[in-house]
Amino acid sequence: MVVINSIKEMRQIAAAYKSTGGKIAVVPTMGFLHQGHLSLINKAKEEADFVITSLFVNPRQFAPNEDYDKYPRNMGSDSELAAAAGSDCLFNPNALEMYAIGNTTKVAVEGITAKFEGAKRPGHFDGVATVVAKLFNATLPDIAVFGQKDYQQILVVKRLIEDLNYDIELIVAPTLRQADGLAMSSRNKYLSDTDRQSSSLLFLALEDARKAIAAGMMQRKVINAVMHKRLRQAASIKIDYACAALANSLHEPDIFLPGDDIVLLIAAYLGKTRLIDNALTTIPKGKSPLAAL
Domain ranges of the chain: 2-173, 186-282
Superfamily of domain covering 186-282: Pantoate-beta-alanine ligase, C-terminal domain (3.30.1300.10)
Told to judge if 34 belongs to the known catalytic residues of this protein, a careful annotator would answer no
pLDDT in tens, 169-213: 999 999 999 999 999 999 999 999 999 999 999 999 999 999 999
List C-alpha distances in Å: 127 to 58, 60, 62, 108.
8, 5, 8, 8
Q: Give residue 250's Cα distance to chain centre.
A: 15
Q: Which of 163, 158, 127 is nearest to 249 (CA)?
A: 158
The whole model's pTM is what? 0.94
Cα separation, 172 vs 244, in Å, equals 20
Q: Which of 235, 236, 259 is nearest to 246 (CA)?
A: 259
Domain 2-173 matches domain 186-282 at the CATH topology level: no
pLDDT in tens, 100-138: 999 999 999 999 999 999 999 999 999 999 999 999 999
2-173 folds as: Rossmann fold (3.40.50)
Cα separation, 37 vs 26, in Å, equals 12
From 34, 37, 124, 228, active-site residue: 37
Per-10-residue mean pLDDT, the chain, length 293: 98 96 97 96 97 97 89 94 97 97 96 96 96 98 98 98 98 97 95 96 98 96 98 96 98 97 98 96 80 48
| Angle, vertex CA 222, rays to CA 216 and CA 225, nearest 5 | 130
